[in-house]
A and B are shown apart, each in its own frame.
Chain A
Amino acid sequence: MSQSSATSSVGQGAALQSSSARVNRHRADWRGWKFMWPFAVVFVFVFIVPIVYAIYISFFQKKMIGGTVFVGLANYARLFGDTQFWSSVVRVALFTIVQVPIMLCLAALMALALDSMKLHGTKFFRISTFLPYAVPAVVSTMIWGFVYGAKYGLVGSLNDLLGTNIDVLAPSVLLASIGNIVTWEFTGYNMLIFYSSLSTIPHSLYEAASIDGASEWQIVKSIKLPELRGSLAITVIFSIIGSFQLFNEPSILQNMVPGNAITTYYTPNMYAYNLSFTGNQSNYAAALAIVMAVITMAIAYAVQLNSMKEQMK
């Protein structure tokens, strides 16, 4: 199909060359696909096909007795009544509400500090805050896990020294401890996005501000913060998507945390993983993945709409 349309479009193109450019703009032109097809093929196979396949298998159920049967929307119906699933969604939602603002505030403060030109060793500061992002999440989680250990870790050594009995891996504070790891990992990344948007501010604005006698605080408030708003929308959306996909940190910590503080359904992704690989229920896991994708997209879309409205003001 693409072969024939490609040749015909070449013919059309030759004919059109003599006619006006206006017609050319409005006619469908397949020549673009000659450049597009390598991407399009890869895109279809690694993106579209897996999604369609996941949707397809989510309508089936594989049983040990009875094999694979078509069950329609039964997997989705079961999901809506699955308390384990909703508890994991609530957990990542709580995580997002608390962790994302803290991380982004820190990132914004760091970016403003770097941009203020009043620091020594800016380059070192910039690279060292970004460095945790370059460490694989698995490695950084293990490092933090060893730090957190209440008996044999750094926390344990501090406890011995101070005679305290602090346990940052206790179930009640575990989510905050994971939040700390994620914040450590991603603050530098977000800082860099903020910093790059601050560095696009034309220097003439600052000159004008100083001629007007604006204080440093007024410059931050009236020039820098409004500029950050655009990149804020991007970082918020990235962070929400990232938090809803929380997986590496809790699954690595699972073996380092005493007891069973991290359950097999701690986050939606972990639940999907365990359903699929130890529960032999990949069809149900596919339904879960699709519902989570819809939830995440809905939230990200709402955030984007909201921020667009803000910018219109």
Chain B
Amino acid sequence: MRNVKKVIAATAAVATLVGLAACGSGSNGSSADTDTDNAKGEIVFWGWGNGIKETIAAFEKANPGITVKYNSTGTAADTATALQNAISAGKGAPDVVMLEDPTVTQFAVDGSLIDLSQFGADKYESDFAAGPWNKLQYGGKPYALPIDSGPEVFFYNKAIFDKAGVDGESIKTWDDYYEAAKKIHALGDNYYITNNSGDANAYQPFTAQAWQAGANPWKVDGENITINMTEDAGMQKYIDFQQKLIDEGLVNTNIANWSDDWNRSLNDGTTASLIIGGWMPTNLESGAPDQKGNWRVAPLPQWSEGDQVSAEDGGSALAIPEQSKNKAAAYKFLEFLTHGDGAQVMADNGTFPSLKKILNDSDFQSAENEYFGGQQVNKVLCEAANLPVTKFQYLPYNPYAQSQYGDAIAPAYQGKITLKEAMANYAKLLGDYGKQQGYNVTVK
């Protein structure tokens, strides 16, 4: 059957003088050359972030004969787009690619990435924090190894909190958070505890907070998907809480994450806290330099008092596209950066690691961060990373879900419809798309 498909595809390609063959032969029947000991040659690496150049230098020194050509592809979304293009074109994909964790399964489903267990990557399971590791499995096999992890934590500007008479350390639950939000907005019309405009960049914080509430908006079982955005108990908790913040005007709905305004508002203190992943510190330092010494980090507020539940926001990983011509050398680099000596170089350059060895290292944990007023930031983050994480599934078409989030959800933050209505619209969009992609979708 597969051969018939290939023949048809090849005929079509010849007939139209275009290289369509790649569409028909995407399945990863071929086994890669797994002889990493004798790997040689040049590999191309797409990625973004800090510390990459230093890590590549260390790798090339340790592995003479392999050179790494690094292409900075900007952001997670741009990288996924570029990879998607290369896959559609049938050529041009790199040997190693950095992807945001929830994006990995989408490329694994259609065989665009290779299963790393053929190189023995499955043996590393216990070496990595559970949160990021679990997001990179498809069909029980690892398709990528995590670079960093993003335990969701609570960053706050102590100077502003003090001015409002709120002790950041005492915020233990989301109810405490709500009370603090009122006091901070009382400082002035410009002051908000945080921003949320319901745009596409608010998607990750949304999934993390709903995840922490125990929500299961998406259940994926092979080709069957159940979407339940409004009736699920965890989702209801999340929706009610956000709706309260919107109705009482306690969040700044005019500023989107990662916008220029966002950095400016963090820098002048009018956005006083963030619920975001543990990789945020370096971004705060560069985005809000004027607030040096004022920021602090604390554990994520809990839904019920006394709970200890965490969630993951973002995080990135390395994978090898099926198109790679030098998979052995590619794996060698991937292993070096995520699991080998390169992981330490990345951590030294500000990456929040997912490797337990580094997470639990006492030097790493006791490092004092001047930007955070000498706080032992890594200690708080490591505690968050070691907290138990409930099972949470992303849709296999996560990039699409993220891009549509803004279209569907922003009207709720502008007060045009309720968040529950917005979530129902969103569920319908996602359901329709899943059906078009050939899944059996049930929307509740």
Chain A residues proximal to chain B, CB less than 8 Å: 49, 52-53, 56, 61-68, 146, 149-152, 171, 255-256, 258-261, 263-265, 274, 277-282
Contact = CB atoms under 8 A, between A and B. Distances in A.
A264 B400 CA distance: 11
A259 B437 contact: no
B264 interface: yes
B109 A264 contact: no
B72 interface: no
A277 B254 contact: no
A258 B18 contact: no
Contacts of A146: 260
Interface of B: 5, 9, 16-18, 23-24, 26, 77, 81, 84-85, 88, 106, 109-110, 197-200, 223, 253-256, 258-261, 264-265, 396-397, 399-400, 402-404, 406-407, 409-411, 413-414, 433, 436-439
Contacts of A66: 438
A293 to B, nearest CB: 19
A283 B229 CA distance: 29
A53 B88 CA distance: 14
A65 B23 contact: no
Nearest to A278: B403
Contact of A255 (B88, B259, B410): B259
Nearest to A57: B20
A65 B292 CA distance: 50
B262 to A, nearest CB: 10
Nearest to B409: A260
B109 A258 contact: no
Nearest to A146: B260
A152 B261 contact: yes
A264 to B, nearest CB: 6
A67 B199 contact: no
Contacts of A265: 407
A280 B397 contact: yes
A260 B436 contact: no
A172 to B, nearest CB: 11
5 contacts: A63-B437, A67-B24, A152-B260, A258-B255, A259-B256
A49 B18 CA distance: 9
Given A264-B407, A279-B400, A280-B84, A259 B23 contact: no
B414 A64 contact: no
A64 B241 CA distance: 35
- Shortest beta-carbon contacts, A-B, top 5: A260-B410, A65-B438, A63-B438, A260-B406, A258-B254
Contacts of B414: 171, 259
Contact of A278 (B5, B197, B400, B409): B400
Given A151-B254, A259-B199, A280-B397, A65 B261 contact: no
B14 to A, nearest CB: 13
A267 to B, nearest CB: 14
Contacts of A53: 16, 18
B439 A258 contact: no
A258 B405 CA distance: 15
Given A255-B259, A263-B406, A264-B406, A277 B81 contact: yes
B264 A152 contact: yes
